[in-house]
Amino acid sequence: MDNGRGQLKEIKTQLRMAMNGSASASMREKGLVYKLNFGVELPRIKQIASMFEKDHSLAQALWKENIRECKILAGLLQPVESFYPEIMDIWIDDMPTVEIAEMTCMNLFQYLPYAPQKSLQLIADEREYQQICGYLTIARLLMKKGDMPERVENEFLDQAVVSFIAGPYAVRKAVMTALKKYMSGNEEHAFTICRLVEPLKDGSDEQGRMLWQWVSSEVQLNF
């Protein structure tokens, strides 16, 4: 047995030992459906990840497993330098749930050197998980940098409005996450969004009015 297969087997053994049936059942009740879910909590998953060196082959093998915890571990163990944009596309195409999207953006996507450019491409994509990963990655980047170039900012904000109005619930939620990070502690940013969405407040589109109401409440609450 080669080292990679041995490590994969050891990880699965560790996951079975940490299995939490009640947590798994609770996730299913909340709509987080996986082919296999051990119900292992995130601190324990991170602890298991710390037992192994980052390794491209191991991470790719973990991602191919249709198991919740393996998908999360893949993001934790994938080296940034060997995670090329085409591999990112494959992973997003195979993204099973919003939870995995959130974990992968947090543990891997935000650290990619091409993340700023790629995230803009993703939010302009018509597919649901591409948009979700794009907005969640932007939210993470904003947490670290707090700002973006004006051209990029305009592109992000314009696309965010379009995505919120046209997108399904999970996309709207990801948009709100990114906009919230964009506004966080920055009055100028907050009022930039207010001016952008103000024309929607009396419009005929229900999602547009909803976006205006949400932005207004965020500004009133935080500024």
Which residue range(s) make up the domain with 153? Answer: 3-222
Q: Domain count of the chain?
A: 1
Instruction: Return d(Cα 156, Cα 195) in angstroms, integer.
Output: 15
pTM for the whole structure = 0.91
Q: How confident is the model at residue 1 (pLDDT cuts 50, 70, 90)?
A: very low
pLDDT tens for 50-104 read: 999 999 999 999 999 999 999 999 999 999 999 999 999 999 999 999 999 999 9
Q: How confident is the model at residue 147 (pLDDT cuts 50, 70, 90)?
A: confident
Q: Helices marked H in 78-127 — which ranges?
A: 85-93, 98-107, 115-123
Instruction: Return d(Cα 9, Cα 48) in angstroms, integer.
Output: 13
Stated length of the chain: 223
pLDDT tens for 107-122 read: 999 999 999 999 999 9
Residue found by looking up tokens 């004006």 in the block: 150
- Domain containing residue 167: CATH number: 1.25.10.90
pLDDT tens for 170-217 read: 999 999 999 999 999 789 999 999 999 999 999 889 999 999 999 999
User: Quick one: DSSP state of residue 167?
Assistant: S
CA 159 from chain centre, in angstroms, equals 17
